[in-house]
Structure 1
Amino acid sequence: MLEIQNLTRRFGGLLAVSDVTTRVEPGCINAIIGPNGAGKTTFFNLISGMYRPSSGAILLHGDDVTGLRADQMAQRGVARTFQATALFDQASVLDNLIVGHRLRTRSGLIDALLRTRRFHAEESMCRDKARAALDFVGLGHLEERPAGDITQEERKRVAIALALATGPSLLLLDEPAGGINAEETDGLAALIRKIAKTGITVCLVEHKMNMIMNLADKIMVLDHGEKIAEGTPAEIRANQAVIDAYLGSEHADVH
């Protein structure tokens, strides 16, 4: 699905991502782990179009998409969440999701001003798609609730629903379990499995190793911007370079 070839990003004298080559496997749950400052979020910013690479190539479904903007990548089916969940707190949960599905509509300013038939048809479609995404993440009962009144775990789920509402084929999740408790983390892991079972490819950055080791099909490890290992959870647990750089011996036997 997604091929990364010798991807590099420099910020002045800082090499944030250095010559990374990897593949995001279709239909699987792919994970990226590593210490703070390893380049994980920068890597996400590169493949989602928020940053342009200094060098290297990004291929999506075989097409060269290197340097495309974030909105162009979203149009091609790449959606992402962020570490901090930003919502329109005064708007309802459902209205927040309708914004996401607007990516797939064609109505313009004139349609909105004249309230054309196309505008009304797309407005109805957006609402239906938003409700479907909200139901999928288990929050259909909150559709009329102001987004500012929901819990942190619910905000995480709304952020995922917002990404799903854009109709992605690749979903990038940046620390989806950050700031939530163990029970909520298990529930979120179940939701990610559910997403993958629909055929959407998932790639996530996460620090909660128990979650990753029990969830991911494939893991890439970054350290100081470089890929130091890649493989199954069992292979990563047994990799001495990863243990030394990040996991520590206490995680080597996680099952």
Structure 2
Amino acid sequence: MLKIENLTKRFGGLAAVSNVSVDFEAGKINAIIGPNGAGKSTFFNLVAGAIAPTEGRIQFQGMDITGMACDRIARLGIARTFQSTMLFEESTVLDNLIVGHRLRTQSRLWDVLINSKRLRDEEKKCRARAEDVLDFVGLSHIGHRLTADISQEEKKRVAFALALATDPELVLLDEPAGGINPEETIKLAALIRKMVDHGVTVCLIEHKMDMIMSLAHKIMVLDHGEKIAEGTPDQIKQNPVVIEAYLGSDDDAAA
């Protein structure tokens, strides 16, 4: 589904991502791990079109999307969440999700000015889609509440729902379990599996190793912007380079 070839992003003399090549399969949970500053979020920004690469190529479903604007990439079917939930805090949960599906609408300023039938029909579709994804993430009961008044775990679920409201084929989740407790993490992992079971491919960045090792089909490890390993959870756990760079060796643990 996603093919990355020799992807590089330099900021001045610093290579935040350096010559990374990787393939992510459709219908799988793909994970990216690495120490802080390893280039993980920059990698997501490149794929989602938030920034343009210095070198390399990004292909999605066989189409070259390298350097394409983020709105075009979103319309092609790539959605993204962020480490800090990016929601309209003073709007209701449902209104946040209605905004997400507007990516798929055709109405323009003239439709708004004359309150056209197309606008009215699309508003109904956006609301229906918002209600569907809210039910999917298990939050139908809080659709009427202001986003500022819900819990951190609920905001994480709303962020998932907002991504799903755009009708994506691939969702990039940036530290989805950050700031929530172990029980909530287990429930969020179950929601990620549910997304994949319903045909959405997932790629996530996460620091919670228990979650990643039990969830991911494939893991890529970054360190200082470079890919140092790639494989199944069992392969990654046994990789000496990964142990030294990130997971920690037995000597480190003893110290």
Q: What is the 5 A alignment of 1:125-140?
A: 125-140=125-140
Q: For 1:68, what is the secondary structure of its paired residue?
A: coil
Instruction: State the distance in 1 between where 2:222 and 2:153 align.
Output: 27
Q: What is the 5 A alignment of 1:136-175?
A: 136-175=136-175
Q: In the alignment, what sits opposite 1:63?
A: 63
Q: In the alignment, what sits opposite 1:18?
A: 18
Q: In the alignment, what sits opposite 1:41?
A: 41
TM-score (norm 1): 0.97
- Output one character per residue of 1:23-62: Cα deviation in whole Å (capped at 9) or x when no partner: 1111000000000000000000000000100000001111
Matched residues, number: 250
Instruction: State the distance in 2 between where 1:22 and 1:51 align.
Output: 19
Q: In the alignment, what sits opposite 1:181?
A: 181
Q: For 1:50, what is the secondary structure of its paired residue?
A: coil
Q: In the alignment, what sits opposite 1:219?
A: 219
Q: For 1:172, what is the secondary structure of its paired residue?
A: strand
Tell me which amino acid in the other structure corresponds to 2:198.
Answer: T
Per the TM alignment, residue 67 of structure 1 is displaced from its structure 2 partner at its CA by 0.4
Q: Percent identity?
A: 64
Q: CA RMSD in A?
A: 0.7
- Output one character per residue of 1:155-198: Cα deviation in whole Å (capped at 9) or x when no partner: 00000100000000000000000000000000000000000111
- Output one character per residue of 1:109-156: Cα deviation in whole Å (capped at 9) or x when no partner: 111111111111100000000000100001010100001100000000
Q: For 2:171, what is the secondary structure of its paired residue?
A: strand
Tell me which amino acid in the other structure corresponds to 1:48.
Answer: A
Instruction: State the distance in 1 between where 2:141 and 2:100 align.
Output: 19
Instruction: State the distance in 2 between where 1:87 and 1:51 align.
Output: 21
Instruction: State the distance in 2 between where 1:112 and 1:97 align.
Output: 19
Q: In the alignment, what sits opposite 1:76?
A: 76
Q: For 1:91, what is the secondary structure of its paired residue?
A: coil
Per the TM alignment, residue 249 of structure 1 is displaced from its structure 2 partner at its CA by 3.6
Q: In the alignment, what sits opposite 1:245?
A: 245
Give ranges in structure 2 of 5+ residues lacking alignment.
Answer: 251-255
Q: In the alignment, what sits opposite 2:253?
A: none
Moved over 4 A (4+): none
Q: Which moved more, 1:241-250 or 1:222-231?
A: 241-250
Instruction: State the distance in 2 between where 1:208 and 1:162 align.
Output: 23
Instruction: State the distance in 2 between where 1:234 and 1:194 align.
Output: 23
Instruction: State the distance in 2 between where 1:200 and 1:24 align.
Output: 13
Q: For 2:161, what is the secondary structure of its paired residue?
A: helix
Instruction: State the distance in 2 between where 1:14 and 1:170 align.
Output: 29
- Output one character per residue of 1:85-119: Cα deviation in whole Å (capped at 9) or x when no partner: 02111110000000000000001111111111111
Q: In the alignment, what sits opposite 1:2?
A: 2
Tell me which amino acid in the other structure corresponds to 2:10.
Answer: R
Instruction: State the distance in 2 between where 1:167 and 1:125 align.
Output: 12
Give ranges in structure 1 of 5+ residues lacking alignment.
Answer: 251-255
Q: For 1:168, what is the secondary structure of its paired residue?
A: coil
Per the TM alignment, residue 4 of structure 1 is displaced from its structure 2 partner at its CA by 0.1
